[in-house]
Structure 1
Amino acid sequence: MKPLSGLRILEFDGLGPVTFAGMVLADLGADVLRLTRSAAAGAPTFTDVGGEVLHRARPAVAVDLKDASDLARVHELIASADALIEGFRPGVMERLGLGPEVCAARNPRLVFGRVTGWGQTGPMARQVGHDLNYIALSGALSMMGEPDRPPRPPLNLVGDYGGGAMLLVTGVLAALLEARTTGRGRTVDAAMTDGSALLTSLFHALGARGLWSETRGGNLLDGGAPFYRCYTCRDGRFVAVGALEPQFYAALLAGLEVPAAEAPQFDLAGWGGLHARFAAVFATRDRDDWTAHFAGTDACVTPVLTLSEAPRHPHNAARGTFVEQGVVQPGPAPRFGEEAPTPAPQPAPLSLDEAVTRWT
Structure 2
Amino acid sequence: MTHTAPSRGPLRGLRVVEIAALGSAPFAAMMLADAGAEVLRINRPGQNTKGAGILGRGRAGELSLDLKDLHGRDRALDAIEHADVLVEGFRPGVMERLGLGPDICLGRNPALIYARMTGWGQEGPLANTAGHDINYLALTGALRSITRQGEVPVPPLNLVGDYGGGGMLLVTGILAALYERVTSNVGQVVDAAMIDGTSLLMSGIWNRKSTGNWSSEPGTNSIDSGSHFYNVYRTADDAFMAVGSIEPQFYQRLLRGLGLADADLPAQQDRAQWPAMKDRFASIFRTKTREEWTVVFAELDACVSPVLTLDEAVTDPHMQSRSTLLREDRVEPAPAPRYSRTPGAANGGESKPAETLMTQWASATCATAATTRTGQH
Give the structure-2-normalised TM-score.
Answer: 0.90
C-alpha change, 1:118 and 1:275, in structure 2 (3 Å) is same
Offset at 1:70?
2.2
Corresponding letter in the other structure for 1:220: S
CA contact (8 A) 1:291 1:302 kept: yes
1:275 aligns with 2:284: no
In structure 2, relative to structure 1, the CA distance for the partners of 1:295 and 1:189 (3 Å cut) is same
- Aligned-partner SS, 1:299: coil
1:176 aligns with 2:183: no
Q: Deviations over 1:6-31 (max 9, x none)?
A: 10011111111001111111001111
SS at match of 2:310: coil
- Percent identity between matched residues is 48
1:172-215 C-alpha deviation (Å, 9 max, x unpaired): 11001111211111100001011101111111111122110111
Is 1:237 paired with 2:239?
yes
Structure 2 partner of 1:7: 14
TM-aligned CA deviation for residue 64 of structure 1: 1.1
Alignment partner of 1:148 is 2:155: no
Secondary structure of 1:308 counterpart? helix
Aligned partners of 2:89 and 2:353: how far apart in 1?
22
Q: What whole-Å deviation, never above 9, does each CA across 1:48-83 have from its counterpart, x for those lacking one?
A: 3x31x1111003321111222222121111111001
Deviation at 1:298, TM superposition (A): 2.2
Please report how far the alpha carbon of residue 47 of structure 1 lies from its aligned counterpart in structure 2 after TM superposition. Answer: 4.5
Report whether the alignment pairs 1:336 with 2:334.
Answer: no
- 2:305 equivalent to 1:302: yes
- Give unpaired runs (5+ residues) of structure 2: 1-7, 363-377
Q: Which moves more between the two structures, 105-114 or 322-331?
A: 322-331
Residue in structure 2 matched with residue 70 of structure 1 by the alignment:
72
Alignment RMSD: 1.7
Is contact 1:113–1:188 with CA below 8 Å preserved after alignment?
Answer: yes
Give the superposition deviation at 1:327: 0.2
Give 1:93's aligned amino acid: M
- Name the CA shift for 1:279/1:271 in 2 (closer, same or farther; >3 Å): same
TM-score (norm 1): 0.94
Distance across 2 between alignment mates of 1:87 and 1:103: 16
Distance 1:221 1:268 in 2: 12
Which protein, 1 or 2, shows the higher relative CO under an 8 Å CA cutoff with sep ≥ 6?
2
1:119 equivalenced with 2:121 (yes/no): yes
Could you tell me which of 278, 284, 288 is aligned with 2:287? 284
Which residue of 2 is the match for residue 204 of structure 1? 206
Name the residue aligned to 1:37. 44
State the distance in 1 between where 2:154 and 2:75 align.
45
Structure 2 residue 330 is the aligned partner of structure 1 residue 327:
yes
**Separation in 1 of the partners of 2:177 and 2:154?**
35
Match of 1:19 among 26, 31, 47: 26
- Total equivalences in the alignment: 353
Deviation per CA, 1:208-264, whole angstroms, max 9, x where unpaired? 221101111100111111010111011111110010000000000000011112142
CA–CA separation in structure 2 for the residues paired with 1:325 and 1:188: 35
Query: 1:159 deviation in Å?
Result: 0.4
TM-superposed deviation, 1:343: 1.3
